[in-house]
Structure 1
Amino acid sequence: MGEVEIVVAHRRRATLRVGDVFLKVDGDPAHADVEVRAMAMAPVPTPTILWHEPPVLAIAAVPGEVLGLLGGPSTASPAAWAAVGAAIRELHDAPLPPWPGRRLDDVVAELDSECAWLLAHDVLPAEVVRRNREIAEAALRPWEPVFVHGDLQIAHVFVDGDEVTGIIDWSEAAPGDAMYDLATLTLGHEDRLDDLLTGYGPDADRDVIRAWWSLRSLVASRWLIEHGFDPDAPGCEFDVLRARTREPQRPPTGAK
């Protein structure tokens, strides 16, 4: 029997590792149900499900190394990033999951609520919140839903050399905005967007991806703080928001 390693733990769920087995314990059984169904549908490499007895889901470790970590550099090659882009495109082109995704109205309401909280608690300078709220507006438009992972953090993607070996943590999978997945993966690694899109294809909307960088960082910050994580760590969400504020304002789409 190997040692028990706590991979992540907070009030919503915990993930433990014992040897090559990961045990995910979630207080909401719907999350594991979505994860099991999504991995069965996804046309990309996913972990092997060993067993599922609520509230525990046991999955096998995937081979390879993580594509990178938020707050640290990615040592993966441009070809590896392109391979990840091609895999994401395959996912986005797959048939939609049969359960509903988030509505645009819900995204807008959550964004406004989280911005108000950040301002009320002086978590960030008001100008940083205001400017990123402006940038986020470009993401708040109707989208053609695709099969999205929904939480495609860079640490959820594994590669071996230039090959994608597994994508983990599918509990947020649903119909959604393709640009959200691309933005989540490149959050804090904006310099790898070109490599990713080499594999994904030329029709990604870079302005919307930038908008999702701001929107995701604004919305995630309170949850991270309340669950013991630090969005102000180097290279993480607050740095992303500050970086957006320092960029020159872009003209509206269609402006001369």
Structure 2
Amino acid sequence: MADVEEVEVVVAHHECATLRIGDVFLKVDADQARTDVEVEAMARAPVPTPEVLWRKPPVLALAALPGTALGRLGEPSPASSAAWAAAGSAVRMLHDAPLPPWPGRSLDEIASELDGECEWLGTNGVLPADVVTRNRRVAEAALRPWTPVFTHGDLQVAHVFVAGDEITGVLDWSEAGRGDALFDLATLTLGHEEHLGDVVAGYGTDVDLDVIRAWWSLRSLLGVRWLVEHGFDPASPGCEVDVLRTQAMRDRRERGSASAAQ
């Protein structure tokens, strides 16, 4: 590393930062509990993860994964349908693994957070009231009891790496825990609905697509304020605000069709 002249800031915000120096990623996090979860989750996960090179709090050093990200939110994915299916298969392996010993967020916690975020969105005029109301209604389908599985917890498309049609690794496990399997599938396909069928095919079992779409709304509603307060733009093309608008239009269309049928 002494010969490396360039330091790349991969991501940085008020809570943590990730730097790349050559083939090494340095994650700096003030909350070492999150790092504890990440290291333990990677050790337990039955899918490829980055190699932990060393840990000197508050820094965690990880080896770079081979390949490239499956995609980016707001951009068309360059990956093949087979690669997306492989991602679905990897998620199924994770969900079939033994549960981690620590809990995830409870249903009541998520519902309470959703109420608060919807109130904030409405009070601050971030989105039209109709968009918030329709997505809040769609999100209700996700707020039901589920059988907990080992979830990644933040399975964004950029966190899954592929080489050709094969998964080479999954990044960022700090939010891993016990949770709803469909939340992981929804997070992976957020903004990439065109690949939902590929992921479900690779996952290999029937899933409730309405619940996945409900999680699209719920995750996006929960994420807007965090993104704004940490210097990101949720209104970038194809990102959370676009997802919410698309979900609202779908709800409007479906309810209009149902009314016409009556």
TM-score by length of 1: 0.97
Which residue number corresponds to residue 218 of structure 1? 221
Deviation at 1:249, TM superposition (A): 2.9
Which residue number corresponds to residue 33 of structure 1? 36
The one-letter code sitting in structure 2 at the alignment partner of 1:77 is: S
1:64-111: per-residue Cα shift (whole Å, max 9, x none)? 010000000001111101111000000000000000111000000000
State the percentage of identical aligned residues.
Answer: 68
Q: Does 1:144 align with 2:173?
A: no
Q: Does 1:81 align with 2:84?
A: yes
| Aligned counterpart in structure 1 of residue 106 of structure 2, from 103, 107, 112 | 103
Query: Secondary structure, in 3 states, of the residue corresponding to 2:168?
Result: strand
Paired with 2:187 and 2:14, the residues of 1 have a C-alpha distance of: 23
Deviation at 1:54, TM superposition (A): 1.1
List alignment gaps of at least 5 residues for structure 1.
none
Which residue number corresponds to residue 9 of structure 1? 12
Q: Aligned residues, how many?
A: 253
Paired with 1:122 and 1:49, the residues of 2 have a C-alpha distance of: 43
List alignment gaps of at least 5 residues for structure 2.
none
1:177-199: per-residue Cα shift (whole Å, max 9, x none)? 00000000100001100011111
Which residue number corresponds to residue 249 of structure 1? 254
Deviation at 1:53, TM superposition (A): 1.3
Give the superposed CA RMSD.
1.3
Query: Secondary structure, in 3 states, of the residue corresponding to 1:203?
Result: coil
Query: Secondary structure, in 3 states, of the residue corresponding to 1:22?
Result: strand
The one-letter code sitting in structure 1 at the alignment partner of 2:237 is: P
The one-letter code sitting in structure 1 at the alignment partner of 2:134 is: R
1:213-253: per-residue Cα shift (whole Å, max 9, x none)? 0000000000000000000000000000000111123699x
Paired with 1:94 and 1:179, the residues of 2 have a C-alpha distance of: 15
Query: Secondary structure, in 3 states, of the residue corresponding to 2:19?
Result: strand
Query: Secondary structure, in 3 states, of the residue corresponding to 1:249?
Result: helix
Paired with 1:12 and 1:63, the residues of 2 have a C-alpha distance of: 27
The one-letter code sitting in structure 2 at the alignment partner of 1:175 is: R
